[in-house]
Structure 1
């Protein structure tokens, strides 16, 4: 079993957790993590149970800009700017799950660009839309995140 002797930093801006561990290379402290320790880190989920659809859209627009690695931030923010206001409440729930539930940013990135197979839990029409967005068949230039000009969309009467 390999031992990781490095800085382990796990931060989640959207979930309210910040765990920092530092090992000083000169003192060789006892803070050592095995690969399974790091892979099994879990981040508690924050509940948004009583959130209105308007607030949820606004939150998801913001969170789409702040999803870990820069690649995901660019993909999610341009996707949200293009599609989020037209999503039904069910589609918004699916997008929220894809955006916030997975802990590994690189896995999410590889699912979206099609390098890794998407787990059944995350396979949906929204993931298909994200994958199509990543293919960028129209050759749109996406070098920066779109401006955050969120206009609330009234909830549709069901």
Structure 2
């Protein structure tokens, strides 16, 4: 009986490891970047006005999963800029200042929101 319980415990732990697929340290690292992506996605969908919600949120849905820490830093910096400034850049009303230029903003400017029926 004792041997069987130990075997079940081992199977349970093995199943847990196979679900995570990694050791503890790797899981914590992946979890923290995944958590950061989820938080940034949440912030992108809750800007200040609906147009920015749709643009930034849809963009985040499309690209955030592939971003690494450097791109996430740039995206987070964009979320810190007032909505009306970013919106003016996106619609081409004002030029983008050099201190905000970067590959993520270039991607965002090129991004085209596709309305979804609902």
1:68 to 41, 45, 48: 48
TM-score of the aligned structures, taking structure 2 as reference length: 0.67
Q: Which has the larger radius of gyration?
A: 2
Unaligned runs of 5+ in 2: 1-30
For 1:114-141, what per-residue CA distance to the aligned partner results, in whole angstroms no more than 9, with x for missing partners?
22111112110001000000xx3xxx63
Give the number of equivalent residue pairs: 87
Which one has a larger percent strand, Structure 1 or Structure 2?
1
Which one has a larger percent helix, Structure 1 or Structure 2?
2
RMSD: 1.8
1:107 aligns with 2:85: yes
TM-score of the aligned structures, taking structure 1 as reference length: 0.51
Unaligned runs of 5+ in 1: 1-50, 145-158
